[in-house]
Amino acid sequence: MQKNQMTAIVVIIVVIAGAAGAYYFLAPPASVTIVIGTTDSVEAALDMALAYDYFGWELITCLSAGLVDIRPGSQAGASDIIPALATDWIMSGEGKIWDFELRTGVTYDGVRPFNATCVKYTFDRNCNLTGVGLYEPDGPQLNMDYQGIIKNVTILETYKVRFNLKIAFAPFLQLLACAASYIVDPVRAPMKQVIMYNGTNLAGSTSCGLGPYVLEKWDRSGTIDKEVWLKKNPYYWNVTGGIPKNTEIIIKKYTDATSLATAMAALEIDIAYRQLLPEQVQAFENNTSVKVWKGIGAQIQYMCFQQRIYPFNETDVRIAVAACLNRTNICSTVFRGTADPLYSIIPNGMAYHKSSFAKYGTANYTYAASLLAPFGYNATNHLVIDFWYESSGHYPSSAQQALVYESDFEESNVIDVNLHGVDWGTYKGLRDNGTMPVFVYGWYPDFVDPDNYGFLPFAAWLNMDYDSTHPQGGIDMNKYWTDARSATTSAGRLGNYTALQDLQASECSVVPLWQKSTEAVTKLDIKGIVFDITVNWRNWLLYRG
């Protein structure tokens, strides 16, 4: 074949190297618009100092960038941290000093340079707005205790910044990878003011910058979004590496799961993501015109025992209740396969997970009866459980779940259940009053690390009157958690988290129930969806193929 007759097919592969290894991307097509349907809305704002909701964080990660990121498809462990605005980092000072080398040549809007001053400004601003200054008393930095972790941020050089920590905090990089730690634009984000939605000033509606997209449109009525348009940022630091893989994302808000499913079935949108019902996902699996994507999720639910109320202050009684659980039943009936049984308070798929509660088996009624017998409970004198759940939709299918738990427990022939459902506000009040003997709670992570889950069995705000300082064997559960978060090696963290999960299973102050999977439905040509334990929705990886 003559040279001028040859057709060259070139695939551009870009390798980004840094402290955590290499990360590979394919260059995107010339022009791709992808339309996503959802039932989500931004809860409050697109300002890192206030946003504390899933959809708000999803948009912030599109419009800004962090110093580091988490490798897609990973367990979010220490070796899964990859470079973003920082190219390299080093820890010293027994885990209390972190120095970051910053990426050069990065700009806001192609004009203003990103450097160490921007990093210091971000953390000084956001932590003061939600901590010392209390301008916004409910921001994520306050709730996630940035003030208790970060002492200060200092500039070492134009492109080198140091974080001085108050404590050795092993998951510090995971904390920096979450949206609350993303870098603000100092021009858009005043030091003493939270940025709120402004319908007449789109540019003034967010504190973000440096992300793979810019905000092209944000149509919002009150607290409900209608449409959000994201346009490819030509100045994004990795645009030459093929990110984003599309040129535009259009997000359409639907009023409920039914209208979202209808739009997807009619192929009016490319993707349906959050919140389809389990039965809708099941129906789409039989639809050959679409593809159902499923992956691990980080949302969990767990059963709590009020230990001011007899007999739930007795460890063997709590273990007996745990042994009666049939997690497979709840996952297959209520969730129709969109949730998985969970046997640790640390989710499956996350670093250091161990299924310690699996030792009690499934619907292990013989074992449960043997544990309850010394307390006088048997086939003629049943243990009566007043089981509480929230009834206002804060958690998925709570009433249906409660009915399954009731049935499973009563099949033991040693337990009777009285169900009580109340709205979310009342539920929280009863939790604070300590009047619910057995109740169910849920958790979704602030940042993706076992540290953000491991404390739940002794969380003070659950108000269970559980004293972690003298469980069976006299070992302090809180100490394992504290030692795990301050360990400077992965082996040190693993050892403490293994011991912590085993002890939590032996104590059963809370009992893990299920872990929700993540689902999306798409047209057949949509590619690039990656589901992992972060539950991050990465718009910038979507493409057609």
Stretch among 14-28, 36-50, 522-536 having the lowest mean pLDDT: 14-28
Band of the pLDDT at 7, cuts 50, 70, 90?
Answer: very low
> What is d(CA 499, CA 495) in angstroms, rounded to the nearest whole number?
6
The whole-number average pLDDT for the span 76-89 is: 95
The whole-number average pLDDT for the span 393-397 is: 86
> How would you classify the pairing of strands 438-443 and 383-390?
parallel
> Bigger pLDDT: 19 or 446?
446
Q: How far is CA 82 from CA 184, 258, 275, 385, in A?
A: 20, 39, 30, 48
* 483 C-beta neighbours (distance < 10 Å), count: 18
Q: How far is CA 50 from CA 4, 234, 517, 537, 538, in A?
A: 59, 27, 27, 20, 21
What is the chain's mean pLDDT, rounded? 91
CATH architecture entry for 35-181: Alpha-Beta Complex (3.90)
Band of the pLDDT at 396, cuts 50, 70, 90?
Answer: confident
CATH 3.90.76.10 in the chain is located at 35-181
Q: Report pLDDT digits (tens) over 275-305.
A: 899 999 999 999 999 999 999 999 999 999 9
**pLDDT on residue 23:** 38
Query: Over 60: is that where the pLDDT of 16 sits?
Result: no
Q: Report pLDDT digits (tens) over 457-507.
A: 999 889 999 988 765 556 788 899 999 999 988 899 999 999 999 999 999
**pLDDT on residue 331:** 96
Band of the pLDDT at 138, cuts 50, 70, 90?
Answer: low
**pLDDT on residue 474:** 60
Query: Over 70: is that where the pLDDT of 131 sits?
Result: no
**pLDDT on residue 172:** 97
- As a whole number of Å, the end-to-end CA separation of the chain is 29
CATH 3.10.105.10 in the chain is located at 300-516
The whole-number average pLDDT for the span 299-312 is: 97
> Bigger pLDDT: 444 or 171?
171
For the chain, percent of residues with pLDDT exceeding 90: 80
Judge whether 306 and 541 are in contact, CB under 8 Å: no
**pLDDT on residue 469:** 74
pTM for the whole thing? 0.85
> What is d(CA 284, CA 52) in angstroms, rounded to the nearest whole number?
31
Q: How far is CA 19 from CA 83, 166, 237, 488, 532, in A?
A: 7, 24, 17, 17, 22
Query: Over 50: is that where the pLDDT of 245 sits?
Result: yes
Q: Report pLDDT digits (tens) over 346-360.
A: 999 898 999 999 999
**pLDDT on residue 473:** 55
**pLDDT on residue 85:** 98
**300-516 falls under which CATH superfamily?**
Dipeptide-binding Protein; Domain 3 (3.10.105.10)
> What is d(CA 389, CA 421) in angstroms, rounded to the nearest whole number?
5
Using alpha carbons, select from 194, 149, 206 the residue that is nearest to residue 175.
Answer: 149
Q: How far is CA 449 from CA 17, 444, 545, in A?
A: 24, 11, 33
Query: Over 90: is that where the pLDDT of 22 sits?
Result: no
